[in-house]
């Protein structure tokens, strides 16, 4: 399908209609830069996160999981450089007083045509107070990246597990940024999730490990089902790199609103561990038994925004075609990513014998396969359309032949394929295996 202008509108509306994503605080008029994931959105996001965790943590021997606190001692962010430097250039319209990112607007306000005031640096960290006393010693920040929890736990992991270099610490969790202009649905939000790895290496082995992780990221996107030809790699020039990075590759995706960053891969050198060594007074060096020396390892960091992967996958999966002479829209998720793998219907909702049999088959399938739905709302055509929009790869219908009206077809059901609309008759006893083979 050609990506058209209305694609974002269509996606936002489908996501709301079908229970993927709702506007944050919607009944109060919303809160800019926040979105709430509904039942199918949570399922999709979990599939994206689970695949990442399985691929980068569970299936490997050199990765350690972590789930650090969102609130951290304020000194962490001073040492990391975020208090001093995690800022975007901001400008304000002198007429309507709307604020914009200075690097994203022209000379006049896009809303009212007014002139802009001077550009100033705006720190993007959300500040809050801890405890009952409101003084500066009680100031803490909502973390703007999950990475720092990994650096401050480096010594804990080394002391508990004695890993050999290279090894990584991985974390999935919320991050918060007070973006000046949140926009483009899930793309630029103020509260989002990151999947990050800090991969610790010997200083002279960073290039080799950078290249290995670069390939793994590409492989992950292939498995998720993001349109691979719409991903490109950008070597970020030195002047655009974060303060800690000596090399960064941005993986960009062709979103309908332009080619934009999907995730990043950075060589953070020994910057963070050195900074925390200096600020905390703790010895964060690693003792290399083979070489008999202590040194601060260097770090390669793949950092993926979960919400940007969700959006790229929704865009990749959204398909319009004609089936049986009718136009339709559907989400072409692969089996592993689909929030619902199989939907089970009774042909008619007002025939108790059909509903009972359908429920029995549904419950049996549910024990064997995760994410099976029972759907008896509306007529069969409406159910297919709903399941197509949810991205359900297979629908199973229980009809009178299942019950034995045609004795030759007793205990068989029809399975309808989402992409082709084609149907086949399969024995109930072979259903589970049928879906297991598709996975």
In the complex, minimum distance from the CB of residue 145 to ligand GAP, in angstroms, rounded to a whole number: 4
Picking from 364, 363, 365, 418, the residue whose alpha carbon sits closest to that of residue 387 is 418
Picking from 137, 169, 189, the residue whose alpha carbon sits closest to that of residue 68 is 169
Candidate list 155, 177, 298, 341; residue touching ligand GAP; CB under 6 A: 177
Rounded Cα–Cα distance for residues 184 and 258 (Å): 10
Sign of torsion over alpha carbons 175, 177, 182, 187: negative
Is 45 among the residues that bind ligand GAP (CB under 6 A)? no
Candidate list 20, 91, 109, 145; residue touching ligand GAP; CB under 6 A: 145
In the complex, minimum distance from the CB of residue 95 to ligand GAP, in angstroms, rounded to a whole number: 27
Is 198 among the residues that bind ligand GAP (CB under 6 A)? no
Per DSSP, helices labelled H in 54-109 are 74-80, 82-85
Dihedral angle over CA of 200, 204, 207, 212, nearest 10 = -50
Rounded Cα–Cα distance for residues 60 and 205 (Å): 19
x/- map, 360-399, ligand GAP, by CB under 6 A: ----------------------------------------
**Do residues 256 and 270 lie in contact, with contact meaning Cβ atoms separated by under 8 Å?**
no
In the complex, minimum distance from the CB of residue 267 to ligand GAP, in angstroms, rounded to a whole number: 12
In the complex, minimum distance from the CB of residue 301 to ligand GAP, in angstroms, rounded to a whole number: 6
Is 35 among the residues that bind ligand GAP (CB under 6 A)? no
Is 275 among the residues that bind ligand GAP (CB under 6 A)? no
In the complex, minimum distance from the CB of residue 45 to ligand GAP, in angstroms, rounded to a whole number: 13
In the complex, minimum distance from the CB of residue 198 to ligand GAP, in angstroms, rounded to a whole number: 9
Using CB atoms within 10 Å of the CB of residue 205, give its burial: 0 to 12 exposed, 13 to 18 middle, 19+ buried. middle
In the complex, minimum distance from the CB of residue 368 to ligand GAP, in angstroms, rounded to a whole number: 35
In the complex, minimum distance from the CB of residue 17 to ligand GAP, in angstroms, rounded to a whole number: 23
Buried b (16+ CB within 10 A) or exposed e, 292-309: eeeebbbbbbbbbbbbbb
Is 305 among the residues that bind ligand GAP (CB under 6 A)? yes
Candidate list 147, 331, 347, 428; residue touching ligand GAP; CB under 6 A: 147
CB under 6 A: which stretch of 97-105, 261-269, 343-351, 364-372 binds ligand GAP? 261-269
Is 172 among the residues that bind ligand GAP (CB under 6 A)? no
CA angle, 403 as apex, 398 and 407 as ends, to 5°? 120
End-to-end CA separation in angstroms for the chain:
25
In the complex, minimum distance from the CB of residue 395 to ligand GAP, in angstroms, rounded to a whole number: 34
Is 196 among the residues that bind ligand GAP (CB under 6 A)? yes
Is 80 among the residues that bind ligand GAP (CB under 6 A)? no
C-beta closer to ligand GAP: residue 230 or 261: 261
Q: Which two tokens stand for residue 386?
A: 């709903």
- Rounded to 5 degrees, φ, ψ at 205 are -110, 15
C-beta closer to ligand GAP: residue 255 or 333: 255
- Rounded to 5 degrees, φ, ψ at 288 are -90, 105
Is 41 among the residues that bind ligand GAP (CB under 6 A)? no
Binding site for ligand GAP (CB under 6 A): 145, 147, 177, 179, 188-189, 192, 194, 196, 261, 263-264, 301, 303-305, 307-308
């Amino acid at each position: 399908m050609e990506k058209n202008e209305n694609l974002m509108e269509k996606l936002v509306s489908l996501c709301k209609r079908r229970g993927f994503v709702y506007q944050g605080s919607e009944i109060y008029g919303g809160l800019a830069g926040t979105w709430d994931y509904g039942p199918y959105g949570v399922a999709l996001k979990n599939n994206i996160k689970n695949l990442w965790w399985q691929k980068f943590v569970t299936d490997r021997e050199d990765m350690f999981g972590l789930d650090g606190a969102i609130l951290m001692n304020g000194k962490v962010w001073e040492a990391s450089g975020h208090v001093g430097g995690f800022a975007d250039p901001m400008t304000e319209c002198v007429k309507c007083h709307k604020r914009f990112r200075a690097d994203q607007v022209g000379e006049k306000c896009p809303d009212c045509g007014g002139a802009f005031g001077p550009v100033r640096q705006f720190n993007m960290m959300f500040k809050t107070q801890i405890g009952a006393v409101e003084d500066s010693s009680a100031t803490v920040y909502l973390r703007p990246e999950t990475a720092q929890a990994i650096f401050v736990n480096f010594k804990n992991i080394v002391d508990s597990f004695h890993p050999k270099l290279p090894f990584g610490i991985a974390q999935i969790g919320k991050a918060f940024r007070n973006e000046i202009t949140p926009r483009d649905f899930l793309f630029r939000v103020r509260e989002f999730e990151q999947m990050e790895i800090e991969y610790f290496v010997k200083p002279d082995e960073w290039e080799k490990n950078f290249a290995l992780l670069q390939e793994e990221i590409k492989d992950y996107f292939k498995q998720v089902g993001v349109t691979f030809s719409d991903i490109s790699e950008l070597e970020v020039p030195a002047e655009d790199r974060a303060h800690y990075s000596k090399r960064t590759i941005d993986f960009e995706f062709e979103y309908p609103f332009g080619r934009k960053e999907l995730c990043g891969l950075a060589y953070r050198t020994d910057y963070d561990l050195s900074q925390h060594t200096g600020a905390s007074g703790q010895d964060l060096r690693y003792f290399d038994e083979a070489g008999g020396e202590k040194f601060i390892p260097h770090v390669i960091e793949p950092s993926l925004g979960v919400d940007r992967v969700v959006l790229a996958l929704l865009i990749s999966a959204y398909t319009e075609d004609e089936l049986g002479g009718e136009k339709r829209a559907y989400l072409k998720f692969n089996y592993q990513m689909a929030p619902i793998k199989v939907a089970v219907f009774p042909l008619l909702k007002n025939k108790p014998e059909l509903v009972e049999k359908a429920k029995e088959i549904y419950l049996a399938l549910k024990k064997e396969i995760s994410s099976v739905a029972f759907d008896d709302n509306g007529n069969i055509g409406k159910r297919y359309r709903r399941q197509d929009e949810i991205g359900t790869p297979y629908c199973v219908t229980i009809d009178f032949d299942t019950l034995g009206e045609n004795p030759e077809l007793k205990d068989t059901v029809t399975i309808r394929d989402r992409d082709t609309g084609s149907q086949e008759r399969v024995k109930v006893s072979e259903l589970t295996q049928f879906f297991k083979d598709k996975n």
